[in-house]
Amino acid sequence: MQPVWLPRHGLQHLINVLRDRGHRVVGPQVADGAVVYRDLADASLLPTGWLDHQDGGVYRLHHDPRAGTFDHVVGPHSLKNYLFPARETIEAWSRTPDGWQQTTPTYEPEQLAVIGIRGCDLAALAIQDRVFMGGESIDVRYKARREKLFVVAVNCRRAAATCFCHSMGCGPAAGPGFDIALTEVGDRFAIEAATEAGEAVLADITGRVSLVPLTPDEVASVRHVPETLRETMQARVAEEGKPRPRSLDTEKIRELLFENLTHPRWAEVADRCLSCANCTLVCPTCFCSSVGEVTDLTGDEVSRERQWASCFTLEHSQMHGANARPSTASRYRQWLTHKLAGWIDQFGTSGCTGCGRCITWCPVGIDITEEVAAIRESPASSPPLSPS
Ligand code: SF4
Ligand code: SF4
């Protein structure tokens, strides 16, 4: 469908139409010092005029009247928070005079529309789809939520210093997977639909606000918005001796990492790493979870809870009374090599989309791009990793 212009005040109509069609609408908002996803009924809550400064271990917001509605970059939340929630009850049981009775409520996911999804997070969505629905074992809850998801994507026109989507082939243009995509230009948005559901939403908006088709020249110029940003990112503007934004060289990365499992860099990064697991929690593709039983104080109600797990915790690699990854070095190596190498064998794709969250939200600013570059600069021939 040909893109059309949506005036800025039309964002409220977009939200209203989605809500009228039965969606819970979620969008980016400033809260607790960050841009996070929250329920959204009013377009004035969108972070118009807010910019984020991000770097290793750094996230700061500042107001800039020149900034548009979507000139901030990704915050700590992603679609993972909704499709694969941090904690959920998957079964419940109650004690009755006749024994235990299952009381798990029927699972009925809501129709969810999320506004503001970027190219890196669309790529992450495709990766999680592959993990949760692409093999023989299907996560029925993820699948049920996924089938009811409506995605309003945004083409980025600004990148943070931590972004490296361009080098992972995941941005800054919104790739496949959206229902509607927005490109902000001046005081309006070029809006295009990619699915029947997206077209239906645009048709409903047309009844409320005039949507003017873009001319062929305007279409070309709008397509150039993320392309211009990509060229800027590739130029790797240097500041303070470090390239901004970052990039990650993926050439034969699987071989590079598997051939360097004993590289001394793993021990060096472990000296800084706190094993706090922040990087795995904010990563939009990390998918590990654990399952445990929880009882109430009487012991008459029991629920089985699934919650996010992290390869940075000791219990994650505890097997048969021994721990397979007792050192921080071995756990960091596990995370990075799985993400960028093992994932390729397992799922046919990298597990990283270059969103940069693990760099920003690492409390000590450990940078996945720097770690790979360090190994690439002095590959192999390293002494064995210390066992503890
Ligand atoms: S590894 Fe880091 S940069 Fe890559 S997708 Fe995860 S959080 Fe984003
Ligand atoms: S790399 Fe950073 S965020 Fe990840 S576990 Fe280590 S200290 Fe925490």
Q: Are 199 and 183 in contact (CB under 8 A)?
A: no
How far apart CA 39 and CA 46 sit, in angstroms, is: 11
Distance, CA of 341 to CA of 243 (rounded, Å): 24
User: For a pocket test of ligand 1, which of 121, 273, 352 has the largest count of ligand atoms closer than 8 A to its C-beta?
Assistant: 352
Q: What is the pLDDT of residue 106?
A: 85
Q: Where are the domains of the chain?
A: 4-243, 253-377
Whose CA is closest to atom 8 on ligand 2?
A: 276
Q: What is the pLDDT of residue 387?
A: 43
**pLDDT of 172 higher than 50:** yes
Which pLDDT score is estimated for 379? Answer: 79
Which protein residue's CA is at the shortest distance from atom 5 of ligand 1? 352
Beta-carbon contacts of residue 50 (< 8 Å; ≥ 6 apart)? 30, 35, 61, 62, 63, 64, 67, 71, 72
CA of 18 to the centre of ligand 2 (A): 38
- Ligand 2 proximity of 144 Cβ (cutoff 6 Å): no
Q: Which two tokens stand for residue 323?
A: 């721990």
3-state secondary structure of 126: helix
Using the atom order of ligand 2, give the atom closest to the CA of residue 331.
Answer: 5
What average pLDDT does range 186-215 have in this prediction?
95
> What pLDDT does residue 242 have?
66
Beta-strand pair 149-154/112-117: parallel
**Residue 275: CB partners within 8 Å, gap ≥ 6?**
312, 313, 328, 331
Q: 164: CA distance to ligand 1 center in Å?
A: 9
Q: Please determine, for residue 388, whether its predicted confidence score (pLDDT) is greater than 50.
A: no
Tell me whether strands 318-319 and 322-323 are parallel, antiparallel or unpaired: antiparallel
CB of 267 sitting under 6 A from ligand 2: no
- Strands laid side by side in the 24-31 sheet: 34-39, 24-31, 112-117, 149-154, 180-185, 188-193, 4-7, 212-213
pLDDT score of 239 more than 70: no
Question: What is the predicted pLDDT for the residue at 309?
Answer: 97
The pTM is what?
Answer: 0.93
pLDDT at 258 over 60: yes
Output the pLDDT for position 129: 97
Measured CA to CA, the distance from residue 22 to residue 269 in angstroms comes to 48
Per-residue pLDDT tens over the stretch 13-38: 999 999 999 999 999 999 999 999 99
As a whole number, mean pLDDT of residues 79-84 equals: 98
